[in-house]
A = this chain, B = another copy of it.
Amino acid sequence: MGEITTLSDAVARLVHDGDTIALEGFTHLIPVAAGHEIIRQGRRDLTLVRMTPDIVYDQLIGAGCARKLIFSWAGNPGVGSLHRFRDAAQHGWPAPLEIEEHSHAGMANRYAAGAAGLPFAVLRGYTGTDLPAQTATIKPITCPFTGEVLTAVPALNPDVAIVHAQRADRDGNVQIWGITGVHKEVVLASRTSLVTVEEIVDELEPRPGAIVLPGWTVDYVAHVPGGARPSYAMGYYDRDNVFYQAWDDISRDRDAFQAWLRSEVLS
């Protein structure tokens, strides 16, 4: 409960081959360093869950860690496509990638249902689109009071949630501010969780707009300054937009990607 340890130790304890894991962060506070640690530890057959798989999931997929992707928008924000994701989805390289595709509203509600201990969530969504025909986890549900038909999606309860945050105290209480995305939901929905943080402090000074995850809701906290780069950590560093653009070239080619992986992650 809120145990402070190293990144490699936490990943080794929590992430196992075949697990369903969610690395979340909506543009902000994406746990990229933790993703690299999973690659280094050579995990395989993971079901990767994330609303917006961006370059960290492109890297995990390209490195062969993934068996399945559950997502709502897979792209390099503001740049274009995720080439490693496309190569896996279209050509099965380096391994076939099963996909389960939702909308943002559906994914956000799936995490919220997971956090709430409910088996499903109800939303106004998907109706009239081709998504329900392709995604088994989208079903109609009828309001028992009005008879109106809405949409149900099942809860997401990953084996492991991993997020990045600004600060934790020595009891493992985690403080997050700025865009908080689905950080709270994914941690509360998952069976276990790891939070990487910029700083570990003696006391969490209250801040406007901050949320706090009590240490007892988090399994491990790891001190990983810069752990969200090239995404950003408000109050610590900005988004490295240049790297997001550079990723387009690095990732377009299998060899270039593998060279990058060797020099930047594995070595």
Q: What residues of chain A have their CB less than 8 Å away from a CB belonging to chain B?
A: 117-124, 137, 139-141, 143-146, 148, 150, 152, 154, 206-210
Q: How many copies does the complex hold?
A: 2
Assembly CA distance A137 to B119 (angstroms): 21
Q: Are A145 and B120 in contact (CB under 8 A)?
A: yes
In this complex, the member of A118, A148, A154 whose beta carbon has the largest number of chain B beta carbons within 10 angstroms is A118
Known interface pairs A206-B208, A208-B206, A208-B210. Does A144 touch B124 (Cβ–Cβ under 8 Å)? Answer: no
Known interface pairs A208-B207, A209-B206. Does A145 touch B119 (Cβ–Cβ under 8 Å)? Answer: yes
A–B pairs, 7, beta carbons within 8 Å: A117-B124, A118-B122, A120-B144, A120-B146, A146-B154, A206-B209, A208-B208
Q: Are A118 and B150 in contact (CB under 8 A)?
A: yes
In this complex, the member of A206, A208, A210 whose beta carbon has the largest number of chain B beta carbons within 10 angstroms is A208
Q: Are B122 and A120 in contact (CB under 8 A)?
A: yes
Known interface pairs A206-B208, A209-B206. Does A148 touch B124 (Cβ–Cβ under 8 Å)? Answer: no
**Which residues from B are CB-within-8-Å of A140?**
144
- Minimum CB–CB distance from A181 to chain B (whole Å) comes to 17
The 10 closest A-B CB pairs, nearest first, are A206-B208, A139-B144, A145-B154, A119-B143, A119-B146, A120-B143, A144-B152, A119-B148, A208-B208, A141-B144
Q: Are A119 and B154 in contact (CB under 8 A)?
A: no
**Which residues from B are CB-within-8-Å of A122?**
118, 120-122
- Minimum CB–CB distance from A118 to chain B (whole Å) comes to 6
Q: Are B139 and A145 in contact (CB under 8 A)?
A: yes
Assembly CA distance A181 to B154 (angstroms): 28
